[in-house]
């Protein structure tokens, strides 16, 4: 991080900036701010697929027995099925 990256807090690290804003009131320094424009591209790394409720309950039960989350169990099962399909 560049020295004095934050013009308002005069902090030189993200940790120091966070500490500064934990105790400051933005309304007291609003006049020091300026408008900026930036683009944000949000792409999920997770895709959700619908599962019937009764099937979901069974998955949750099995996952609990195996000591893993439902997400982990489903990912393992799907990964196994995909591998099977690749090597057929």
Position 45 scores a pLDDT of: 82
**So what's the pLDDT on residue 2?**
52
Tell me what the pLDDT averaged over the chain comes to: 88
pLDDT at 3 exceeding the cut of 70:
no
pTM passes above 0.85: no
3, 16 in Cβ contact below 8 A?
A: no
Find the Cα–Cα–Cα–Cα dihedral 71, 72, 75, 80, rounded to 10°.
-150
State yes or no: pLDDT of 14 exceeds 60: yes
């Amino acid at each position: 991080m560049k020295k004095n990256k934050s013009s308002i807090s005069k902090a030189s690290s993200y940790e120091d900036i966070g500490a500064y804003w934990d105790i400051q009131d933005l309304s007291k320094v609003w006049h020091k701010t300026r408008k900026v424009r930036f683009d944000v591209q949000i792409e999920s790394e997770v895709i959700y697929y619908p599962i019937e409720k009764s099937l979901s309950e069974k998955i949750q039960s099995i996952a609990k027995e195996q000591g893993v989350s439902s997400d982990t169990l489903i990912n393992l099962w799907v990964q196994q099925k995909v591998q099977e399909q690749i090597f057929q």
